């Protein structure tokens, strides 16, 4: 039951992150059009950025996966000339760290919905913290700022937490999660009993 990441874990995590950055990249422009009005509707789907972290963690269940997934999502976007440039790498790092802190607080052993929502919230807070430097969001009119924070956090809870949780449950039915999930004590016990 090694907790160290193997090459398989790393590759699978990176690929999960790339799938999400591809999906985000295709729908992203639709929503960034909405942000032309300055009312932050686009913030509602911001949580898709952190989704890679929670999904990858639920599948691989090892320390470091959340952070790695976020960095991978950011670098995928960056390497292919994503419009946001180098800012992505720092954002990805901080958001991944946010998720990772929550997973660590539960000692990487809790895979409940609540934990995923908390991870989403902390990742959202991390990105908002960077926004105070990179977006001067502290200087927005109060109602607009609250709308911004509210939309970002609601999006984080719903998408990063709830959607990711149910998505992995659905994915488990396909059987692929068994390929990459580390073997548990139950698996060993099942072997013993079978003899």
Partner 1 sequence: MQLNFSYRTTWLHQVNPSVKLSILMIIFIGLIFIHNPNMIVYIGMGTSLLYVFYTGHRWVTIGLLFAPFILIFVTTSVAMVLFGDGETTWFRFGIIHITEESFYRGLHLGLRSIVFGLFGLIFALTTRPVLLFYSLMQQFKLHPKYAYSFMAAIRMLPIIAEEFQVLRQALKIRGINYEKGIKGVYQRIRLYAIPLLAQSIRRAHRIAVAMEAKQFSQSEQGRTYYYPLTYSFYDLLFFVIVSGLLVCSLYLAISFPIFPVVNVR
Residues of this chain that interact with partner 1 (CB under 8 A) are 5-8, 10-12, 14-16, 18-20, 22-23, 26-27, 32-33, 35-40, 42, 45, 48, 55, 59, 68, 72, 75-76, 78-90, 133-136, 139-141, 143-144, 148, 158-159, 163, 166-167, 170-171, 174, 176-177, 179-180
- Pick 107 or 143: Cβ nearer partner 1: 143
CA distances from 159 to 37, 92, 108, 150, 188 (A): 23, 17, 21, 14, 34
The minimum distance between CB 190 and partner 1, in angstroms, equals 21
Q: Which is nearer to partner 1, 135 or 182 (CB)?
A: 135
| Half-sphere exposure of residue 127: CA atoms within 13 angstroms, side-chain side | 27
User: Which one, 89 or 106, has the nearer CB to partner 1?
Assistant: 89
Q: How far apart are CA 185 and CA 41, in angstroms?
A: 45
Are 185 and 65 in contact by the 8 Å Cβ rule? The answer is: no
Closest distance to partner 1 from the beta carbon of 45 (Å): 7
Long-range contacts of 184-192 (CB under 8 A, 24+ apart): 184/1, 185/1
Indicate the residue among 169 and 184 with the shorter CB distance to partner 1. 169
Q: How far is the CB of 23 from partner 1 (least distance, A)?
A: 6
Q: At what angle do helices 48-60 and 113-134 cross, to 10 degrees?
A: 140
Token pair listed for 132: 């105070």
Residue 136 or 194 having the CB closest to partner 1: 136
Report in angstroms how near the CB of residue 8 gets to partner 1 at its nearest. Answer: 4
Cα(66)–Cα(134) distance, integer angstroms: 23
The two structure tokens encoding residue 184: 């548990």
Q: How far is the CB of 189 from partner 1 (least distance, A)?
A: 24
């Amino acid at each position: 039951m090694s907790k160290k990441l193997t090459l398989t874990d790393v590759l699978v995590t990176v690929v999960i992150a790339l799938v999400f950055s591809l999906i985000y990249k295709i729908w992203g422009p639709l929503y960034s059009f909405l942000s032309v009005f300055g009312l932050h509707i686009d913030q509602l789907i911001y949580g898709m950025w952190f989704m890679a972290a929670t999904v990858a963690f639920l599948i691989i269940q090892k320390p470091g996966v959340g952070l790695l997934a976020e960095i991978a999502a950011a670098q995928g976007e960056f390497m292919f000339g994503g419009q946001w440039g180098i800012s992505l790498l720092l954002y990805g790092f901080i958001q991944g760290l946010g998720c990772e802190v929550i997973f660590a607080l539960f000692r990487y052993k809790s895979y409940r919905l609540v934990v995923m929502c908390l991870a989403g919230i902390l990742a959202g807070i991390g990105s908002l913290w960077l926004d105070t430097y990179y977006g001067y969001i502290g200087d927005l009119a109060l109602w607009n700022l609250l709308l911004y924070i509210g939309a970002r956090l609601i999006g984080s809870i719903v998408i990063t937490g709830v959607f990711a949780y149910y998505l992995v449950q659905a994915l488990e039915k396909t059987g692929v999660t068994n390929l990459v999930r580390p073997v548990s004590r139950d698996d060993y016990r099942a072997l013993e009993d079978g003899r």
